[in-house]
Structure 1
Amino acid sequence: MHPRTKQLVVMWIATIIFSAIMFFLAMLPALYELYPEYFPF
């Protein structure tokens, strides 16, 4: 595996994780509205 390919894969994975976190944060208010019993706070 070339170092450049490995760097590209790491960057790709980081982008996916970042997108997933941002999507989760964006969905939190909707989830809070839908399922209030799952959020004790």
Structure 2
Amino acid sequence: MNLTAFGQAVTLKEYEHTLLKRRAKLGIQTSLRLNDGCNAD
């Protein structure tokens, strides 16, 4: 894990977000899941 990924994980955990990652044929697919308390802008 590089420093950028570590900082991102800590920030997301602070705001109770879940970042899902999985390997795909063309690279890494990411998905951000927000909790119910987040405001949609």
TM-score, structure 1 as length reference: 0.39
**Higher RCO (C-alpha under 8 Å, 6+ residues apart):** 2
Choose between structure 1 and 2: higher helix proportion: 1
TM-score, structure 2 as length reference: 0.39
